[in-house]
Amino acid sequence: MDFSKTLRINSNHYQMDIRLKKDILLTFAFVFMRVFQYIGIGALGLLLMACAQIGTLSGGEKDKTPPKLLQSLPKDSSLNVATQNTKIVFYFDEMVDVKNLSQNLLINPFLTEAPDVMALGKKVTLRFNQKLQDSTTYQINFGNSVVDIHEGNQHKNLSYLFSTGAVIDTNSWGGMVLWAQTQKPASNVWVALFTSLSDTAVTRTHPEYLIKTDSLGSFYFSNLKAGTYQAFALTDKNNNHNYDPGEGYAFLNHKITVPAYVKDTFLLSIPKTEKVFVKRKTPMFPGFIKYKLNDTLPNIYIIPLEKNYGTDTLTYETNDDELNVYYNHIYDRSIKFELKKDTLSFDTISIQTPKKNVMDSLVKKYSRRMNINTNKPSYGVTHDDVYLIFNVPIVSIDTSKCSLWHDSIPEKVQYSTENVNTEGRLVTTYLPLYKKRICNPLQAAKEYKLIFLPGGFTNYWGVSNTDTFNILFKTYPEKSISTIKVKLRVPPTIKNYILQLTTPTGKVITDQALEVKKENEVAFYNIQAGNYSLQLIDDKDGNQKFSPANLRLRTQPEPIYFYKESFKVPAGWDIEQEWDINKK
C-alpha cells in the first residue's frame, strides 16, 4: 500500500509566513513615504547612499538542533484507547513538517487503510481511517520524517505505543535475512508475519506485522500479540507487501509461535517462474528467427503441428535462454509448432514464411553477413578446447580452404561437431550448428591464426563465405598456469553437487557438476596464479545449476557450503586441497 497517495499534509503555516512577510513590506513602504515627506530629497539621498554601502550581514550559527517532542495526546503507552475515530497529536518545541512519509511511516499491526497525517505549526496530527482491533498493542514509527520547518533537522526514529486493551503486549521475535547464494546480509528487505497459515498467504492476503531489515540483515519485532504466525521475507519491489514474480522471497519451514525465544534465519533467493513462455521474438532475416525465453531450458524441443519437416527444411537449437529456429525451402505459408519440455507443452509459435523470390533474395543478402569468434582468447595445451562460435548455423567446412598457423607454419584444420567425450559415454552428443570444436594439438606459448578463405564454410541456407576470415588466439606458457586438485568428503545426504572455484570475494571462475562417488576428486586445469576459494552446491534436483526456493513445493534454496579460507596458487604449480564438508 502506497501511503504517499493518501497522506495529506496541511501547509497553513506556510500561508502564515507569507502574510507576515506582506505586513513587513507594507510597514516599510509607509515609513519610506514619511521620511520622503519630512526630511526631503537631499537628506533622503544621503540616507540611500548610506544604505548602499557594502557590508557583511551578521547572523548566528546555523540551527542544527532537531525538533523536540514535548508531549503527545493520548500519552505514550496509553491503555484502553478508543478503536474508532482514533486521533493522536504530537506537540513539538518548534514549527515542524513531515517529509517522505511513504518511505518512513510504519504502523504495526498493518493497516489496510492509510491514516491521515497533518503538520500544522508545532504539532503533527495522525488520524486513523479505519476501526482498530480490540485489545491490541499498536506501534507507530515515523522514522526520520518529522523535521523542523527552517533547516530540515530530523527528529530521528520517533516512535509511539498505545493499546486498545488493558495491557501493552511485550512479546518479541527477531532474526536475520541472508542471500542464499552468498550468505551475505540482505538489507532493506521486508519481513512479514501473517496470521493466515495458508501457503498462498504471501500472495493473496495482507500481513499482520511488517518490519525492514537493517544494514546487517537483522530484524526485530516488538510488542507482538501472542499467537501463531507464518513468516516470510520479501524484497517487495512494488511495495504491495505481497510476493510477485521477479521478487526475492524466503520462508521458514516452521510456524512462529509468539512468545518466541529462538532467533530465525531466512535464506533469500529469487524464484524462477514455473510458467515457461517466449519473452521476445527477433527475426534475424527470412529463414532465421531467435526467440528469447524467460528461463534457461536445456531440454526443450519443438513439434510442428501440421506436418513433419526434414532437418534440412526446419530445425532448431538452444543457446542458454534463446531458441534459434532455422527454416529453408518453405515458401508462402504459415508454420505452427509447439514448444515442449519433457511432455509439457508450454507455448505455441507461428511463423509466416515469405514467397520464394523474396526469401531467396533476402537469404542470399543477409546470410552472407557472417562472422566468427573463439569462445575465449587464451587456452591451455591440455584439458582445454578451442571452440569456434559462428553467428549463423554452419553445416560444412571445407578444410582445403582453411588453415591453422603458428610461427609461419601452416597446419590442416581438424575440427569436430561432437562434444568432448572424456568419460567414455556410449551416446554421442553433438554441438549446435553455430559451434565447432578445433581438434589440432596445440603448443604452449604460441600465437595462432586460423584462416578461412572464401568458400571455407557454408551455412544452413547453402551460402558460403565470400570474405577471408582471420581468427586469432594464443596458448599459455606452461609455467604460467596451474592445476588445482580438490579432494572432497561430502555428507551422505548429497547425491549430486556443483563444485565452484571462486575468487576470495565469491566470483565464480569455473565449476563442475558431478555425481557423488566413493572417491571424489575434482581437478581444475589451466588456472592462473592468484588467490582462490571454493563453494559447493548440493544439487538436489540434479539440474546442474543452483535452484532457488519453491513455495508451491515448499522447498528451500539448494544448500551451499563455503570453504572457510582462501588459498594461494603460485604459477606453474599443482596444488592439492582437501575439504571435508562434514566439518563445519
For residue 175, give the C-alpha cell.
532474526
Q: Where are the beta strands (DSSP E) in 74-115?
A: 87-92, 96-98, 106-108
At 423, is the pLDDT very low, low, confident or very high (cuts 50, 70, 90)?
Answer: low
- Using CA atoms, how far residue 492 sits from 38, 457, 582, in Å, is 106, 51, 9
Rg of the chain in Å (alpha carbons): 36
The reported pLDDT for the residue numbered 422 is: 57
Q: Is the pLDDT of residue 355 over 60?
A: yes
Report percent pLDDT > 70 for the chain.
88
- Using CA atoms, how far residue 393 sits from 287, 401, 459, 465, 467, in Å, is 11, 19, 6, 12, 17
The reported pLDDT for the residue numbered 38 is: 44
For residues 106 and 159, give the distance between their C-alpha atoms in angstroms, rounded to a whole number.
9
Q: Is the pLDDT of residue 32 over 80?
A: no
Calculate mean pLDDT across residues 21-40: 42
For residue 311, give the C-alpha cell.
532437418
What is the CATH code of the structural domain delimited by 479-580?
A: 2.60.40.1120
Closest CA to 230 of 261, 208, 249, 213: 208
**Domain spanning 278-366, CATH class:** mainly beta
Do the first three CATH levels of 1-45+64-167 and 479-580 match, i.e. the same topology?
yes
Q: Where are the beta strands (DSSP E) in 414-478?
A: 415-416, 435-438, 447-452, 457-459, 469-475
Calculate mean pLDDT across residues 186-209: 93
Number of H helices, E strands in the chain: 5, 44
The reported pLDDT for the residue numbered 125 is: 98
Element (H, E) at 14: helix 12-39
Calculate mean pLDDT across residues 334-361: 86
**Model pLDDT for residues 79-110, shown as the tens digit of each residue:** 999 999 999 999 999 999 999 998 899 999 99
For residue 410, give the C-alpha cell.
601452416
For residues 483 and 485, give the distance between their C-alpha atoms in angstroms, rounded to a whole number.
7
Element (H, E) at 291: strand 288-293
CATH level 2 (architecture), domain 372-476: Sandwich (2.60)
Q: Is the pLDDT of residue 12 over 50?
A: no
Q: Is the pLDDT of residue 15 over 80?
A: no
Q: Where are the beta strands (DSSP E) in 180-261?
A: 190-194, 209-212, 218-224, 227-234, 249-251, 256-258
- Using CA atoms, how far residue 239 sits from 8, 242, 243, 244, in Å, is 20, 8, 10, 10
The reported pLDDT for the residue numbered 428 is: 62
For residues 143 and 578, give the distance between their C-alpha atoms in angstroms, rounded to a whole number.
50
For residues 560 and 184, give the distance between their C-alpha atoms in angstroms, rounded to a whole number.
12
Closest CA to 130 of 78, 83, 90, 195: 83
For residue 300, give the C-alpha cell.
526443450
For residue 454, give the C-alpha cell.
572464401
Which residue is listed with cell 534436483? 541
Q: Which one-letter DSSP state was computed for residue 31?
A: H
Topology of the domain comprising 1-45+64-167: Immunoglobulin-like (2.60.40)
Element (H, E) at 488: strand 481-489
Topology of the domain comprising 171-268: Immunoglobulin-like (2.60.40)
Calculate mean pLDDT across residues 27-32: 42
CB 370 within 8 A of CB 460: no
Q: Which one-letter DSSP state was computed for residue 377?
A: S
- Choose between 187 and 293: higher pLDDT: 187
Q: Is the dihedral of CA 258, 262, 263, 267 positive or negative?
A: negative
The reported pLDDT for the residue numbered 309 is: 83
The reported pLDDT for the residue numbered 42 is: 44
For residues 101 and 80, give the distance between their C-alpha atoms in angstroms, rounded to a whole number.
27
Q: Domain residue spans in the chain?
A: 1-45+64-167, 171-268, 278-366, 372-476, 479-580
Q: Is the dihedral of CA 83, 87, 92, 98 positive or negative?
A: positive
Q: What is the pTM of this model?
A: 0.80
Residue 231 phi/psi, 5° resolution?
-115, 140
Closest CA to 176 of 266, 250, 268: 266
Residues in the chain: 584
**Model pLDDT for residues 284-343, shown as the tens digit of each residue:** 999 999 998 877 766 677 788 877 788 889 988 888 788 899 999 999 999 888 888 777
**Model pLDDT for residues 518-547, shown as the tens digit of each residue:** 999 999 999 999 999 999 999 999 989 999
